[in-house]
Amino acid sequence: MEYKNILIDIKDTIAVLTFNRPEVLNAMNTETVKELGEAVTELEQNPAVNVIILTGAGRAFIAGADIAELSTKSPEQARSYSELGHRVMHTIQNLKKPVIAAVNGYALGGGTEIVLCCDICIASDQARFGLPETLLGVIPGWGATQRAPRRMGTAVTKELIFTGEIIDAHKACAIGLINRVVPHDDFMDAVFEMAKKIAEQGPLALSLAKKVINAGMEKSLQEGCRLEIEAFCRLFTTDDQKEGMKAFLDKRKPLFTGK
């Protein structure tokens, strides 16, 4: 499927989705948000894709919402825009396939909110993060007030949102927002190295690991451990489990089929 504001490239089971509005630093208008939801759903359903990478064209990952569009919205239209964003964020977070945010530059507002939905984030040392919505007289509208405290804690989240501070990649890593900072020239090589390593793992195991981790965050430790037990046992009904263990004993790489 062709998209106006998004590019998709698939190679060796790894899909790269690029936000492609560099002239406005990939600001997210309604059309782009809708395309993002459609594109990640398409990639989830594609059997040739094991890992999804999100990145941006030009100097930015996503510099936030398209303020020119957002400033004209009525309260009712703002609700629809926020609800659309939440649906897409939930879709990204709950994809069965691992999603890596490859942050090449500015990831502000909605850009940081998308990072919070991804499983892993690798950032260039030129990347910048922030939730500066209060400077516009609003608050984050795509889930950052809820996801950020779960990842970084309430005190750090309040500081970022209350001050609107834009932080560099090293500080973002130190507070737990992202996983790794890489020199800009080596940035995408590091992203693909991570993606290839993930793509070699059992796809059913990856999917269930992601599901159990996400679901367990909303449950007690005992309930979460019960989810883990059920998922662990379920994988012993699969061809992938048999292949993975046989390959280990045979001292060879496994050939997973996702069955």
User: Tokens 């500080």 sit at which residue?
Assistant: 171
Residues 6+ apart with CB under 8 A from 56: 18, 19, 22, 26, 62, 103, 104, 105, 111
- Phi and psi at 13, nearest 5°, equal 70, 10
Residues 6+ apart with CB under 8 A from 53: 14, 15, 16, 17, 99, 100, 102, 191, 192, 195
83 is catalytic: no
44 is catalytic: no
Find the Cα–Cα–Cα–Cα dihedral 25, 109, 4, 37, rounded to 10°: 160
Position 242: which residue type?
K
- Phi and psi at 119, nearest 5°, equal -80, -35
Give alpha helix (H) positions in the chain.
30-45, 67-70, 75-93, 110-117, 144-152, 154-163, 169-174, 187-199, 203-216, 221-235, 239-250
Rounded to a whole number, what is the distance in angstroms from the first to the last CA of the chain?
27
Q: How far apart are CA 142 and CA 128, in angstroms?
A: 19
Kindly name the residue from 31, 38, 44, 113 that is annotated as catalytic. Answer: 113
Kindly name the residue from 35, 133, 228, 243 that is annotated as catalytic. Answer: 133
CB 215 within 8 A of CB 253: no
| Catalytic residue ranges | 113, 133
